[in-house]
Amino acid sequence: MAGSLVAYTAFGRLFSPVELVDLSLAIVVSFFATACNFGLSWLLSRSAKETGSVALEGDAKHLLSDVASTIGVNAGLLVAGFTGWNILDPLLALAVAVLVSKMGVQLVMKAGSGLMDQAATEEEDRIRRVLEEHRSRFVDYHELKTRRSGNQVFAELHLSVDEALTVGEAHELTDHLEEELQAKLPEVTLTIHIEPTEVDEVPE
């Protein structure tokens, strides 16, 4: 929305240039506010990465778009003021509109993927590596599924074990695997479903 409004105003100024007046004080105050917004955007962005919050990332991107638009506008005003080329103001405004719109689209796409329970492929690979370290203790594993929620990943899989194992031994194995995965991947909550299997019937 912000990008569309900026573009609309810029197009109007392209065909009807407006003479710029002395805006020195306004530009100084604007740059100070921009610096504050940039600092707050950086803090929010760091918090968003730590928590996996799309809402915080949205706030950070919103502030960053304000920073970009303000810098573009002020740069256009300064250059136009020194050169008298008033056409630079709307041209830079159009560039800012494109940047703001691009950031908005990227944020909406990321938020949408989060709502659709996107699989955590990187964590899946790490889970497989941990399981392969204990390959001799079970027959195989399958149906590994993951979904991401914020900075947490929920995973489940089916673990085939020798049917000769007692319930206690199978439970001890799953506890060991879940504890080791929790130690190496603290952001992952794993649920293991045990399936007894006749070892002689397992295909090569």
Q: In this predicted model, which residue has the larger pLDDT, 21 or 59?
A: 59
How much is the pLDDT for 203?
A: 45
How much is the pLDDT for 122?
A: 85
Query: Looking at the structure, do residues 61 and 36 belong to the same domain, yes or no?
Result: yes
Report the mean per-residue pLDDT for the chain. 76
Query: Looking at the structure, do residues 23 and 95 belong to the same domain, yes or no?
Result: yes
How much is the pLDDT for 163?
A: 85
Query: Looking at the structure, do residues 88 and 44 belong to the same domain, yes or no?
Result: yes
Q: What share of the chain is helix, strand, coil (3-state, %, to 5)?
A: 65, 15, 20
Per mean pLDDT, which of 75-84, 89-98, 173-182 is the most reliable?
173-182
Confidence label for 158 from pLDDT (cuts 50, 70 and 90): very high
Q: In this predicted model, which residue has the larger pLDDT, 113 or 183?
A: 183
Q: What would the pLDDT profile of 104-150 be if each residue is shown by its tens digit?
A: 776 676 666 555 556 778 888 989 998 888 888 888 898 898 887 76
Query: Looking at the structure, do residues 38 and 101 belong to the same domain, yes or no?
Result: yes
Query: Looking at the structure, do residues 127 and 106 belong to the same domain, yes or no?
Result: no
Question: Which of 91-95, 137-141, 166-170, 200-204 comes out lowest in average pLDDT?
Answer: 200-204
Instruction: For residue 120, give the nearest of 83, 92, 85, 153 by alpha carbon.
Output: 153
Instruction: For residue 171, give the nearest of 198, 193, 200, 146 by alpha carbon.
Output: 193
Boundary residue ending a domain (115, 133, 151) = 115
Query: Looking at the structure, do residues 136 and 92 belong to the same domain, yes or no?
Result: no
Mean pLDDT on 7-32: 66
Boundary residue ending a domain (68, 85, 115) = 115
Query: Looking at the structure, do residues 96 and 73 belong to the same domain, yes or no?
Result: yes
Query: Looking at the structure, do residues 195 and 99 belong to the same domain, yes or no?
Result: no
How many domains does the chain divide into?
2
Query: Looking at the structure, do residues 92 and 16 belong to the same domain, yes or no?
Result: yes
How many other C-beta atoms can be found within 10 angstroms of the C-beta atom of residue 50?
A: 10
Confidence label for 71 from pLDDT (cuts 50, 70 and 90): confident
**Whole-angstrom distance, CA of residue 193 vs CA of residue 94:** 56
Residue 189 has pLDDT above 80, yes or no: yes
Residue 204 has pLDDT above 50, yes or no: no
Query: Looking at the structure, do residues 12 and 107 belong to the same domain, yes or no?
Result: yes
**Whole-angstrom distance, CA of residue 19 vs CA of residue 39:** 33
Mean pLDDT on 67-80: 73
The range of the structural domain enclosing residue 54 comes to 2-115
Query: Looking at the structure, do residues 24 and 100 belong to the same domain, yes or no?
Result: yes
Boundary residue ending a domain (100, 115, 130) = 115
